Amino acid sequence: MVFTPSPMLLKLLYTRGSLHNLPDGQGVAFSLKNRLDTVKITGLRQVQVGDVVVPAAQVTLDLGNGDVRPATALGPADGQALELPVGRSLTFALATAALPEGVYPVQVWFSTDALGDLHVEVEDAIVGAAASRPRIPRSDDDDYSEAAIQARQRFAEEFTQQHFQHLKSYSFDAHDLRGNCEHFVGVAQVPVGLAGPLAVNGEHAQGDFLIPMATTEGTLVASYNRGMQVLNLCGGVKCTVIGDAMQRAPVFVFADARGARDFGQWVADNLERIRPEAESTSRVAKLQYIDTYLTNKFAYLRFNFSTGDAAGQNMVGRATFAACSWILANYEGPKIEHFYLESNFATDKKASQINVMRTRGKRVVAEAVVKRDVLQQRMRVTPEQLAYHGQVSTVGAFMSGANNNGVHSANGITALFIATGQDVANVSESSAAVLYSEVTKEGDLYLNITIPSLIVATHGGGTGLATQHECLRLLGCVGPGTVYKFAEIVAGVVLAGELSLAAAISSSDWVSSHEQYGRNR
């Protein structure tokens, strides 16, 4: 750990709204949550709430799962230090009189092995108890045990007066869901169909791939399968990853525009000093560059990282947090009035023009030449029809303000995301696409799609869960260095879907196909 948190960041350790009176007059409690990096707490000097100073002798620390110890037992020696991993909460129980309702300043003085002596100072409130409402059962000891899960299942059935059979049926150890799902009660079984094989001619994905597609939309798998067959007859799809960057975009607020301008220049001048601070939090995250955007009195910094096989949103959040902590501690220019780790400028889980232009996740292109005879025999359209249809529909997309001038990239991406354990909300960004077509001088159809913000992973998140891992194994995308391979496969699938649906609409087969495959009569 090489950075020292600034007082502004230390405030973020405190869990707002956690200040409360303990039952039966046992004292007062509040919580801190480690949002920085794994540290060991080596000592607690005192706590102060309002005017009440509480020495360490009157403080008990509770890590949950029965790990409770007096603050006086802390020390720098092994066995005395209290390890606090990232994301872990620590409850401070103070043996003092109950507090009346109101707003109180809260201060904590403690020591750590990596960060030295720290002082957290915030404001919180004691509020009246809320009216009693049913609460979902959970277990502090093991919330993924069969007993905890069954308690929630009984609660759901009693609360709704319904019996659930399929929801409760699953074939994996629920403990594998730690970090993926809270209050686990069961599974949603989404049908998985196979399309392909698809011949992919990529730099990382080379060969024929069976494509698992999780969907409840009739015709979807059949449509993508049809597009893949046509691409295969024409030599397959050529796929290329042309960009890779994951962002976090903090904002720094100044008293005026000049202060923001000077700060932006300082960041540019000190990039090589900022880089090791950001990279100190991860073996994988590498800071590529920082874009600075100035408006009003705000300086928006767009940190761009490579993140290995992980999608990396959490990884780059942590890395940017460390970098910004160093910036806050070392910048000596005009005063930074406010700081927010995310300004909405990374547009996380939102489609945006900046990510179309600048890349978020993987920027990947899929392209193919579809032979004239194959297109006419299999799709019942000519290259000229599809190319002209593309021009007309691009105008429609422009008029509507869509993030995509293609047909339905979100369909294939969503089906693959669900099957392989991706963060499905990222479809909002990943579905952005730029489709281009032209008739070649030989009379064939050249078709190309660029996906500028495809957020995928083959490690972390939900990729290691039972069925999701099996679907990644089906694609040969398990193990280090496979994320580009997966990105190329996704892009190839998207192109196959664009070809199939565009041809169906142009040839007026669209409605009849849905009548045949998509209606659940």
Report in angstroms the alpha-carbon separations of 357 from 75, 127, 420. Answer: 52, 47, 27
Closest CA to 111 of 60, 57, 55, 43: 43
* Residue 219 in tokens: 């015709």
* Residue 270 in tokens: 């000190």
State the 10-residue block means of pLDDT for the chain, 521 residues long: 64 86 90 81 91 92 86 84 84 92 92 85 81 82 92 93 93 92 94 96 97 94 95 97 96 96 97 94 93 96 95 91 90 92 91 92 97 93 92 93 91 97 94 95 96 96 94 96 97 96 79 52 51
Angle, helices 483-506 vs 220-233, to 10°: value is 100
The DSSP code for 404 is B
* Bridge partners for 300 per DSSP: 251, 293
Q: Which of 423, 444, 488, 509 is catalytic?
A: 423
Q: For tokens 């404001």, what's the residue?
A: 123
Give pLDDT, residue 117: 86
Find the DSSP H helices in 308-380. Answer: 313-330, 353-358, 372-374
Domains and CATH numbers, the chain: 7-126 (2.60.40), 139-188 (no CATH), 192-244+359-518 (3.90.770.10), 250-340 (3.30.70.420)
Rounded Cα–Cα distance for residues 282 and 285 (Å) = 6
Give pLDDT, residue 470: 96
Rounded Cα–Cα distance for residues 116 and 19 (Å) = 25
Instruction: Specify the amino acid at residue 180.
Output: N
Give pLDDT, residue 511: 45
Give pLDDT, residue 234: 97
* Residue 148 in tokens: 């905890």
Task: Name, in order, each residue with C-beta under 8 angstroms of 46's C-beta and a sequence gap of 6 or more.
Answer: 53, 54, 55, 56, 109
Closest CA to 120 of 92, 81, 83: 92
Per the annotation, the verdict on 515 as an active-site residue is: no
Per the annotation, the verdict on 272 as an active-site residue is: no
Task: Name, in order, each residue with C-beta under 8 angstroms of 272's C-beta and a sequence gap of 6 or more.
Answer: none
Give pLDDT, residue 131: 54
* pTM listed for this prediction: 0.84
Do residues 419 and 192 make contact, with C-beta atoms less than 8 angstroms apart? yes
Counting Cα atoms < 13 Å in the Cβ hemisphere of 147 gives 4
* Residue 46 in tokens: 């005192």
Rounded Cα–Cα distance for residues 132 and 130 (Å) = 6
* Bridge partners for 518 per DSSP: none
Per the annotation, the verdict on 183 as an active-site residue is: no
Rounded Cα–Cα distance for residues 95 and 54 (Å) = 8
Q: Which of 217, 262, 291, 470 is catalytic?
A: 217
Give pLDDT, residue 8: 74
Query: Greatest CA span in the chain, whole angstroms?
Result: 87
